[in-house]
């Protein structure tokens, strides 16, 4: 579905991001994994030796426009185009408002909101030049109703929805589609960090009866990146088993 296309997946070293990387590679794309550290990127690349020649690593500071632009240009030079950006990197929070420091709030804004902005800007410049492309952001089920602690996390995911819908309208004239995937409870390290009883309680309330697998989410990233979705832009696609919490 993506033969010959080039994708960058931020936070592609593990969890949902790693599942997206594999899904894109299995569908013929060239992929650059953007991680926070060289060490974790190399570890991920070591698990992808069968795709040698179609996968590379970059580790720019995702909030630094110059570093991101330089890294994305290297990707384009290596593979010949820059077609897909999956803004997946993210961190979560369960901190109570009473304990929340401004530093923690700023950090979650940086990774979950500022980074997708910086990466989208750098990607859009390259995509416009080549006649189009597609950007897929990562929202969350909590962007519908919020959550009862860790207010910074849903605040950034509501904002990601706004960024998605606005950029979809702004960039359509340049043939750049912008969508978001909003996962529900998905079995990754992020969920493993939550108290077991909380995960059980949330899972019990999922109409489809189970938490999501990273591949369930990666399938949505594949659909939105592919030509099958060529008339789809500005959408937040919920992949959450119809969860309401």
Contact present, 13 and 33 (Cβ < 8 Å): yes
Separation of alpha carbons 54 and 28, rounded Å: 9
Catalytic residue, chosen from 51, 98, 100, 153, is 153
Q: Is 68 in the site for ligand NAD (CB under 6 A)?
A: no
Binding pattern for the stretch 153-192 against ligand NAD, x by CB under 6 A and - elsewhere:
------------------------------x-xx-xxxx-
Q: To 5 degrees, how large is the angle CA 211–CA 39–CA 19?
A: 25
Assess whether 24 carries a catalytic annotation.
no
Q: Which pairing describes strands 55-58 and 30-34: parallel, antiparallel, or unpaired?
A: parallel
Choose between 29 and 191: whose C-beta lies nearer to ligand NAD: 191
Q: In the bound complex, what is the minimum distance in angstroms from residue 63's beta carbon to ligand NAD?
A: 8
How many CB atoms within 10 Å of residue 244? 11
* Of 177, 160, 174, residue with least CA distance to 89: 160
Q: Does 147 bind ligand NAD (CB under 6 A)?
A: no
Q: What radius of gyration do the chain's Cα atoms show?
A: 17
CA dihedral 115, 4, 216, 239 (to 10 degrees): 50
Q: Toward ligand NAD, which CB reaches closer, 10 or 120?
A: 10
Encoded one letter per residue, x for contact with ligand NAD by CB under 6 A and - for no contact, window 6-25 reads ----xx-xxxxx--------
Per DSSP bridges, beta strands 55-58 and 84-87 are unpaired
Q: Identify the DSSP state of 89.
A: -
What's the min distance (Å) between Cβ of 80 and ligand NAD? 25
Least Å distance, CB 114 to ligand NAD, is 10
Sole binder of ligand NAD in the list 20, 31, 62, 222 (CB under 6 A): 62
- Angle, in degrees to the nearest 10, between helices 115-130 and 152-171: 20
Residues 69-128 interacting with ligand NAD (rule: CB under 6 A): 88-92, 111
Residue 165 vs 187, nearer CB to ligand NAD:
187
- Is 36 a binder of ligand NAD (CB under 6 A)? yes
C-beta separation of 200 from 5 below 8 A: no
Rounded least distance, CB 74 to ligand NAD, Å: 16
Of 140 and 164, nearer to ligand NAD (C-beta) is 140
Q: CB neighbours (10 Å) of residue 157?
A: 26
Residues at the site binding ligand NAD, with contacts judged by CB under 6 A = 10-11, 13-17, 35-36, 62, 88-92, 111, 138, 140, 183, 185-186, 188-191
List active site positions: 153
């Amino acid at each position: 579905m993506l033969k010959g296309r080039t994708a960058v997946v931020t936070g592609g070293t593990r969890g949902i991001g790693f599942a997206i990387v594999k899904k894109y590679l299995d569908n013929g794309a060239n992929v650059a994994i953007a991680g926070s550290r060289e060490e974790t990127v190399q570890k991920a690349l070591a698990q992808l030796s069968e795709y040698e020649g179609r996968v590379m690593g970059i580790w720019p500071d995702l909030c630094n426009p110059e570093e991101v632009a330089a890294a994305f240009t290297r990707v384009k030079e290596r593979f010949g185009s820059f077609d897909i950006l999956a803004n997946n990197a993210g961190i979560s929070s369960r901190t109570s408002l009473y304990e929340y420091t401004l530093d923690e709030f700023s950090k979650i804004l940086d990774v979950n909101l500022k980074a997708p902005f910086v990466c989208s800007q750098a990607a859009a410049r390259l995509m416009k030049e080549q006649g189009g492309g597609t950007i897929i952001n990562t929202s969350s089920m909590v962007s519908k109703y919020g959550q009862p602690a860790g207010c910074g996390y849903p605040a950034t995911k509501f904002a990601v929805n706004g960024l998605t819908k606005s950029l979809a309208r702004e960039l359509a004239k340049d043939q750049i589609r912008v969508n978001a995937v909003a996962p529900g409870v998905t079995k990754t390290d992020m969920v493993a960090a939550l108290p077991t009883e909380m995960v059980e309680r949330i899972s019990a309330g999922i109409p489809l009866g189970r938490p999501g697998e990273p591949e369930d989410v990666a399938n949505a990233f594949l659909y939105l990146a592919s030509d099958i979705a060529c008339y789809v832009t500005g959408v937040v696609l919920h992949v959450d088993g119809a969860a309401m919490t």
